Amino acid sequence: MHCPVLILGGTAEARALAARLTTDGVPVTSSLAGRVSKPRLPNGQVRVGGFGGPDAMAAWLTEQGVKAVVDATHPFAERISANAARATTAAGVPLLRLERPGWTEPADARWHWADDLDHAAALLGQLGTRAFLTTGRQGLAAFAELPVYTLIRCVEQPDPPLPANSDVILSRGPYEVDSERELMKSHGIDVLATKNSGGTMTVAKLEAARGLGIPVVVVRRPPRPATTTVSTVDEAAAWVHARVAS
Ligand code: NAP
């Protein structure tokens, strides 16, 4: 069998799971969307690009003889998770969701919860005049009309429209608290916006903002399909081993 396990990836957890399973001798294919020109590649086989919707993903699972799928995509990658739920049901393949826990607000922080990026933009306009936007490259159009300075940080150059008064920093985590604090201070940042991505790679900005007394707009995670979910690579690896062995 060519590929017993498909990992839907694009996250650190997905790479960690691929590394673990290949070490364990389980043939794995990781799937990446292809959004980033130089992605961090996981161990094992890699395929890049959309499947063409849930029906095409179901056909791919059957063709490849996939025995189990782990959806380890980012908590805000809504469409691929919905597609995975439909495709695995159609193909009769078990599906597990590997999702890192969200961040929780420290007692002395100043968080403001937003339901989506439009809501986040409205809150930013009320809370500050120099915003640090770390919500990612996609969806920045929601902030295009913001009449405040924005410092935008993302992995790849974002497409317009962007806020008129903005600077873009291209970089990829992990980040440290000290450098995050210096970045915010040097740009005079007085409000931060983030998705509730969770994990350790980008959490330092929250601690830096808390220390500087800067309010944070945190975008809530979108709703998810009702899939069996674990939060650690260990649990996901155990689930895969049980499926591949059976
Ligand atoms: P999305 O909106 O949920 O998916 C849009 C379409 O992209 C899907 O319908 C699918 O195309 C394709 N796709 C997405 N992830 C894929 C994958 N892992 N393998 C193959 N095709 C994939 O996705 P997104 O929010 O743009 O995220 C894209 C990728 O970036 C994901 O792998 C995610 O883990 C990673 N990522 C996302 C974020 C974020 O904030 N959204 C942050 C960090 C990393 P077809 O319908 O043609 O199959």
Residue pointed to by tokens 């945190």: 218
Task: Give the 3-state secondary structure of residue 54.
Answer: helix
| Distance (Å, whole) CA 150 – CA 162 | 9
**Which atom of ligand 1 lies nearest, measured to the CA of 36?**
30
- The gap between the terminal CA atoms of the chain, to the nearest Å, is 14
Looking at residue 193, the DSSP 8-state letter turns out to be: E
**Residue with the nearest Cα to atom 27 of ligand 1?**
77
Confidence of residue 1 (pLDDT cuts 50, 70, 90): very low
Tokens of 90: 């159609």
**Which atom of ligand 1 lies nearest, measured to the CA of 195?**
40
Please return the burial class of 19, using the count of CB atoms within 10 Å of its CB with bins 0-12, 13-18 and 19+: middle
User: Is the pLDDT at 246 greater than 80, yes or no?
Assistant: no
% pLDDT > 70, the chain: 99
Rounded mean pLDDT, 12-18: 97
- Please list, in sequence order, all residues whose beta carbon lies within 8 angstroms of the beta carbon of residue 188, skipping any fewer than 6 positions away: 130, 149
**pLDDT at 41 (0 to 100):** 94
Name the residue of 57, 66, 73, 196 whose CB sits within 8 Å of the most ligand 1 atoms, as the mutation to test its pocket: 73
**pLDDT at 2 (0 to 100):** 64
For residue 125, the CA-to-ligand 1 centroid distance in Å is: 29
| Three-class secondary structure assignment of 96-154 | EEECCCCCCCCCCCCEEEECCHHHHHHHHHHHCCEEEECCCCCCHHHHCCCCCEEEEEE
CA torsion angle 19 24 28 34 (round to 10): 0
Is pLDDT larger for residue 221 or for residue 246? Answer: 221
109-157 pLDDT, tens digit per residue, is 899 999 999 999 999 999 999 999 999 999 999 999 999 999 999 999 9
**pLDDT at 3 (0 to 100):** 74
Task: Give the 3-state secondary structure of residue 182.
Answer: helix
For residue 53, the CA-to-ligand 1 centroid distance in Å is: 11
pTM above 0.85, yes or no: yes
46-104 pLDDT, tens digit per residue, is 999 999 999 999 999 999 999 999 999 999 999 999 999 999 999 999 999 999 999 99
Looking at residue 215, the DSSP 8-state letter turns out to be: -
Mean pLDDT of the chain: 96
Rounded mean pLDDT, 194-203: 96
| Distance (Å, whole) CA 177 – CA 209 | 9
Rounded mean pLDDT, 201-211: 97
